[in-house]
Structure 1
Amino acid sequence: MKIDLAGKTALVTGSTEGIGFAIARGLQDAGARVVINGRTPERVAAALARLGGEARGQAIDLATAEGARALVAAEPSFDIVVNNLGIFQPSDFFDTDDAVWERHWQVNVMSGVRLARAYLPGMAARGWGRMLFLGSESAFNIPVEMIHYGVSKTADVALARGLAKRMAGTGVTVNSLLPGPTLSEGVAQMLAAETATGQTLEEAGAAFVKAHRPSSLLGRPATVEEVANFAVYLASPLSSATTGAALRVDGGTIDFIS
């Protein structure tokens, strides 16, 4: 099985590091012309230097309507859009104010809503397209330490399902991808206290999974490349019969059969 994305254009939001960067690299390796995105020119430039090839970058904050308009003005058309942009912030429910909820909603949900409105009609007109939303196992296993995050990820799954119905018959597929704990830079920062005691990042990640995600069958965090491999497949012509699905790359953390 060979994934060939030659001639396709792809946007990956929030892609200067972590899962987003790994997806951008995977799409480029498959032949797509990739645009990466981050909030600052410095981070975008650094990511482009790591990525190499013919990738382009857009330093735009997509958590705002103004940012979305600026991106669409600069990049009016894509064949593949991966809505990877997301934040998480552990915080007890009773200490989490409206500002935190609103920030998670704007970054994790509305950024994808705006780009779907902008880019799906063009995909439909051309008769082919792929839109992917990065959900999370937290969409189903709502984490008690960050309920606000889990709610936003559940919304992403619902959004992808609804949009898949809306795009039915157009040649455009819309899916959500559900990673479990993944060794991204953000997770590494969260585990910094443990690694400071002499544990490796991998050891600290495995200990976190066993303590906080005991239903995991994998027993360790995934790598960003393991998540990206699934995303690249979903972005390809090979996934043409898959749409409206919430697809798990969670190491078996979600404890139900699907």
Structure 2
Amino acid sequence: MKIDLSGTTALVTGSTSGIGHAIAKGLAAAGAKVVINGRSQPKVDAAVAALKKAVSGAAIEGVAADVSTAEGCASLVKEVPDVDILINNTGIFEPKEFFDIPDEDWQRFFNVNVMSGIRLSRAYMQGMLKRNWGRIVFIASESAIMIPKEMIHYGMTKTAQLSVSRGLAELTRGTAVTVNAVMPGPTMSEGVETFVKDLAKQNGQSIETAAANFIKEHRPTSLIQRFASVDEIANMVVYVSSREASVTNGAALRAEGGLVPTIA
């Protein structure tokens, strides 16, 4: 199968690093014009330069905007009025005991992880429906259906993303627009790598040992028994964003290494 996204414009939020950057790279390699997004202009500029270097001839733009706010989303939409592919990737996570999570953290996680995707989908989806083609993908997590006791506030937002994506998919009935969610498992993004390095330092271990122990202790049901790479997650997202994925709609697609012990 050769995925060809030439002639399309894709916006990937939170794409200056990590899974988002890998998705942007994959979409660009498939021929899409890609818009990189992040909060900091220097980071956006650096990500655009890195992507142009990695994908020869790629059409890449960058827009700095904080999509956790209504103002930031409006600013982004003003700069990029229409897209064919919207990847709602922006997200934050933080291990914290439930009894130590204040109201402000619950609201902050909801604004970043959930409201960003809601606002941007509201802005771009009507254009997709009018053109009768489009792809919206929410980057959720296996934590949406296996709520981690050390990050209940995070898990809550990921469950909310599944609800929103399925609800939006219902609005696409009879069209060539699809809305799906992808659920990565533990993935070695830059943020997670920092987390693992901190664990290694705290426990006097190598990074490799700390990573392996984390999976064994905190995600023991994983079948692959390791962290996924950002490129492995991007592969799934690029497919779901393609014309070839025309009958995949309203789905919560697992890319979690068999961590969730169910058959559905």
- TM-score tier, shorter chain, comes to over 0.9
The equivalent of 1:135 in structure 2 is 140
- Which whole-Å CA distance do the structure 1 matches of 2:161 and 2:209 have between them? 31
Q: TM-score, normalised by structure 1?
A: 0.97
In 2, are the aligned partners of 1:183 and 1:205 still within 8 Å (CA)? no
Match of 1:205 among 190, 208, 211: 211
SS at structure 2 position matched to 1:82? strand
Q: Does 1:166 align with 2:148?
A: no
- Which whole-Å CA distance do the structure 2 matches of 1:164 and 1:85 have between them? 20
Paired residues in the alignment total: 257
In 2, are the aligned partners of 1:183 and 1:224 still within 8 Å (CA)? yes
- Which whole-Å CA distance do the structure 1 matches of 2:211 and 2:38 have between them? 26
Q: Which runs of 5+ in 1 are unaligned?
A: none
The equivalent of 1:75 in structure 2 is 80
Match of 1:120 among 121, 125, 146: 125
SS at structure 1 position matched to 2:151? helix
The equivalent of 1:219 in structure 2 is 225
Q: Which runs of 5+ in 2 are unaligned?
A: 53-57
SS at structure 1 position matched to 2:150? helix
SS at structure 2 position matched to 1:144? coil
TM-superposed CA distance for 1:167, in Å, is 1.5
In the alignment, residue 219 of structure 1 is paired with which amino acid? Q
Match of 1:145 among 146, 150, 153: 150
Q: Kindly report structure 1 stretches of 4+ aligned residues shifted beyond 3 Å.
A: 194-198
In the alignment, residue 108 of structure 2 is paired with which amino acid? R
Match runs of 1:86-101 below 5 Å:
86-101=91-106
1:88-145 deviation line (CA, Å, top 9, x unaligned): 0111111100110000000000000001100000001001000000010000110000
In 1, are the aligned partners of 2:134 and 2:176 still within 8 Å (CA)? yes
Cα RMSD (Å): 1.0
1:75-94 deviation line (CA, Å, top 9, x unaligned): 00000000000000111111
In 2, are the aligned partners of 1:79 and 1:128 still within 8 Å (CA)? yes
In the alignment, residue 152 of structure 1 is paired with which amino acid? T
The equivalent of 1:243 in structure 2 is 249
In the alignment, residue 188 of structure 2 is paired with which amino acid? L
In the alignment, residue 77 of structure 2 is paired with which amino acid? V
SS at structure 1 position matched to 2:67? coil
Match runs of 1:1-150 below 5 Å:
1-52=1-52, 53-150=58-155
The equivalent of 2:55 in structure 1 is none
SS at structure 2 position matched to 1:125? helix
Q: TM-score, normalised by structure 2?
A: 0.95
- Which whole-Å CA distance do the structure 2 matches of 1:162 and 1:148 have between them? 21
